[in-house]
Amino acid sequence: MAYSQPMIEGGSTRIGRWLRERRLRLALWVAVIEGLLVAITPDLTKWTVLVIGTILLAFYIVAGRNMRWDVARQLTWIAAASQALAILVVILAFVLELVAIVAVVIFALVALAYLFSDSRRA
C-alpha cells in the first residue's frame, strides 16, 4: 500500500518541520545580511564575526545537536550554519586581501627594479 502523505518524524513539531525544510535558505540569508552589516557598519569587524561564529558553532556542537525541542535544534543549526558561512567569507576576504597586498608588493619591487636599472643607464 502506497501512502500519499510524507511520514512525520517522531518528536518533530509543525514549526520544526517548517524550519527544517527551509533551514539552508534561512542560513544563507542570515549570512548575507550579516555580511552586509559587517560591510556597512564600522563597529562590526571581521574579528567580531569570528568570535561570534566560533561561540555559536561551539554551542551547536556541544548542546544544539542534542536538544529535544525540535524548533530549538533547527534554530541552532541555522545559526551555526550561517556563522560557518560568515566565517568562510571572512577567511576568503582575508586571503583576497593578502593576495592583493602580495601583488602590490610584487608590482612595487618590479617598478623599483625597473627604475634602478634605468638610472644606471643615464
pLDDT tens sequence across 34-75: 888 877 877 778 888 889 899 999 999 998 888 888 888 899
53 within 8 A of 83, measured Cβ to Cβ: yes
19 within 8 A of 67, measured Cβ to Cβ: no
Asked if the structure places residue 22 within a domain, the reply is: yes
Three-state secondary structure call for residue 7: coil
Asked if the structure places residue 29 within a domain, the reply is: yes
Q: Specify the residue for cell string 569587524.
A: 45
User: Rounded CA gap, 37 and 24, in Å?
Assistant: 20
The total domain count for the chain is: 1
Asked if the structure places residue 112 within a domain, the reply is: no
Its domain, for residue 83, covers 14-90
What pLDDT is stored for residue 58 in this prediction? 92
Asked if the structure places residue 113 within a domain, the reply is: no
Asked if the structure places residue 48 within a domain, the reply is: yes
50 within 8 A of 87, measured Cβ to Cβ: yes
What pLDDT is stored for residue 11 in this prediction? 67
What pLDDT is stored for residue 80 in this prediction? 92
